[in-house]
Amino acid sequence: MLKRLFSKQNRVLLAELVRTDFKLRYQDSVLGYAWSLLRPLLIFVILYVVFVKFLKVGSGTPHYAQYLLFGIVIWNFFVEMTMQSLSSIVGRGDLIRKIKIPRWIIVVSSSVSALINLLLNLVIIAIFMIVGHVTPTNLVFLLPLLLLEVYLFALGVSFFLSAAFVKFRDISYIWEVCIQAGFYLTPILYPLSRIPNLLLQKIMLMNPLAQALQEARYVLITKQSTVPGSVFHGSWYQYIPIILVGVALFVGAYYFRKQSKYFGENI
Amino acid sequence: MTDDVAIKVEEVSKTFKLPHEKNSTLKSAVINFYKRDRGYDKQQALDNISFEVKKGEFFGIVGKNGSGKSTLLKILAGIYSPDSGNISVNGKLIPFIELGVGFSPELSGRDNVFLNGSLLGFSRNEMKDMYNDIVEFAEIERFMDQKLKNYSSGMQVRLAFSIAIRAKSDILLLDEVLAVGDAAFQTKCFDYFAQLKQSDTTVIFVSHDRGSLERFCGRGILLNDGDIIAQGDIKSVLKEYDKIVMGQLEGSSKTSEQEEKPEKELKQNKSAQIIKVKTYGENKILKNKFNYGETIWIDYEARINEDLVNPIAGVTIWKKNVERPIFATNTLIEGISKTGSFKKGDKIYFKTQLPGHINDGEFYIDAAVSSESGAFVYDEVNNAREFFISGSDNPYSLVSSSSKAVFLKIEPNDNKS
């Protein structure tokens, strides 16, 4: 199965599509690729000034600047990947109507360019951590797993959105609103500990993004990051986010597979 | 499936749902869901199609527009999935549904070569090895680092074609690739087809072009309204195809009972009614296929439904895919300004001859009868008849001239004097 998925032809195609995406995205811009690093940094500066300097949201959390930047980078990755994937199938309608290639490659190719951006942004995080004398905990080896979790969740969502967008073009507007809401419902700007109600904290941590983000901050930046283990006191509820990732991946892939037969005629 | 079969199609059907108004927003989907009025027409594009293509065959698919040819090809290519039925493909299949698939206008020619190559299954290294040959064959070395959007359409087609012919596969699907490009490019295409015919490659070829179908294909099928109505030797298939095309044209004027009824209703508000437009050769035998150089006569009768004075009768000849008429005449142009008075029930007869040496093609006749001033059209029939000319030795221009060309060398001294 995996052998067929990653046959030579599919790998070549995937690489070429990613390359094309890259070339197209930043052409005609003077700074070109630097923008994918500059954008999160500039957003970080704005949010840092507003929320940390004026509203003092992060007081009490050590290394709050790195904590905030890391949150923005992860969130940005999720937004970038889902937004790009959403329109990827429709955007590549010229291919889909004329040649048979595995449809999922198109979605995966737009996820790969988001993934590459994420890795570059993590380098920036590393630099900020070195400058701010932040030492990761000895659990830092879990970070790749947590990033994988975010990626898989985003992939499931992406499969669903891209297939649904073929039929219903309002999905893009709906998703924009969801993203906006998600930005505040996920503890990106504020430490989760500032939420007074324990029940609310629990509910918010059932969001796989919140859970992965909080745990990643825990292993990478500060043990003061509220993680499911401490909130749920070891009950099975703490696995809900993981289950949700599985559900998203399964539902997304299933729906995509079912719809992909008709992409050719529906686009 | 036996070993010598490349593609086997068994009882394949495909129906398209054509929504009256596409539910491309959630709101309309929700509303239509509750209305229980899904609001679409079903169109049966293919109805229980079965056939086999043997390995190494050059197989033609013929049919009018809308007969289901392209749908069939897209199903073979795996772009559409059939509602029912089964398709087995034995070997690697590359669909050339169109040339230059995935070409991106914002990328350079070079980048597009690699992208297009990857769609055909070539790795970057394989493409690097072929790159020079491709560019040379396309004859656009100088432009490879420019964006594709700055290419002329001819350059784009040449580039796409020279990548496409590198594709190595057991089965090729070709859809009217010949419809694009100039004469020189078409010659290249034909050379490539001739090569394919020699090789073991199985080719499935969809086209309207009788000439190339007859030249390359051995066998074929004829599709009409989603059914296979003839299959076998390409010559017999093309014969059946001609019958359909002609039956369709004659059907509009021939069958008296079917056509007479609507005519009677229409007649009331028409002062004149064109009855039947015919084409025939020197021997007065009705036909619509002519050899190049043959005299072509066109005539029609029109029934007069109220008293008229000096009506004008005329015809316009169009060539398929050519924007302007290639020939038009009427009684006024011919110098007959006083055509006379007509009473209700009279008939007029108009006849003209197609001039000169018109080269190969498909042609349509429009006929019209109008008032003396031309301001009021009594009757007008578009596409009243179709006819074909073939056999010219210079099919690339509209007409051939019998005049002798002059060719001289001019010395610089002659210019000064």
* Digit-coded pLDDT (tens) for B157-206: 888 888 888 888 888 888 766 556 677 777 777 888 888 888 888 999 88
Tell me the HSE value of B231 on the side-chain side, using a 13 A CA sphere.
11
* Cβ <8 Å between A98 and B16: no
Measured between alpha carbons, how far is A148 from A217 in angstroms, rounded to an integer?
Answer: 15
CB atoms within 10 A of CB A72: 21
Q: How many CB pairs lie under 8 A apart between chains A and B?
A: 78
Q: What is the pairing mode between strands B289-291 and B312-319?
A: unpaired
Sign of CA dihedral B179, B182, B188, B190: positive
Measured between alpha carbons, how far is A56 from B281 in angstroms, rounded to an integer?
Answer: 96
* Digit-coded pLDDT (tens) for B79-108: 898 999 999 998 888 776 677 888 888 889
Out of A57-61, A118-122, A201-205, A225-229, least confident range: A57-61
Tell me the HSE value of A183 on the side-chain side, using a 13 A CA sphere.
14
The segment with the largest mean pLDDT, out of A5-19, B215-229, B269-283, is B215-229
Question: Which of B374 and A14 is assigned the larger pLDDT?
Answer: A14
Asked whether the beta carbons of B304 and B348 are under 8 A apart, the reply is yes
* Cβ <8 Å between A98 and B26: no
Q: Is the pLDDT of residue B265 over 80?
A: no
For residue B85, the model assigns a pLDDT of 92
* Cβ <8 Å between A9 and B121: yes
Q: For residue B222, give Cα distances in angstroms to B12, B61, B225.
A: 15, 6, 10
Give me the residue spans of the domains in chain A: 32-266
For residue B251, the model assigns a pLDDT of 52
Going by pLDDT thresholds of 50, 70 and 90, the confidence category of residue B35 is: low
Q: Is the pLDDT of residue B399 over 60?
A: yes
Distance from CA of B173 to the nearest CA of A (A): 11
For residue B267, the model assigns a pLDDT of 38
For residue B262, the model assigns a pLDDT of 40
* Digit-coded pLDDT (tens) for A149-186: 999 999 999 999 999 999 899 999 999 999 999 999 99
* Digit-coded pLDDT (tens) for A6-24: 788 888 889 999 988 888 8
- Best mutation target among A11, A20, A259 (most B Cβ atoms within 10 Å) is A20
For residue B139, the model assigns a pLDDT of 83
For residue B44, the model assigns a pLDDT of 86
Asked whether the beta carbons of B128 and A44 are under 8 A apart, the reply is no
Please, what are the domains in chain B? 5-245 (3.40.50.300), 257-390 (2.70.50.60)
Round to the nearest angstrom and report the end-to-end CA distance of chain B: 80
Sign of CA dihedral B108, B112, B115, B118: negative
- Listed by number, the residues of chain A in 224-263 with a beta carbon closer than 8 Å to a beta carbon of chain B are 261-262
Find, among B209, B398, B400, the residue nearest to B322 by Cα: B398
Amino acid at B34: Y
Torsion of CA B147, B152, B153, B159, to 10 degrees: -60
Find, among A13, A230, A33, A242, the residue nearest to A107 by Cα: A13
Residues of A in contact with B97 (CB under 8 A): 98-99
Q: Is the pLDDT of residue B367 over 50?
A: yes
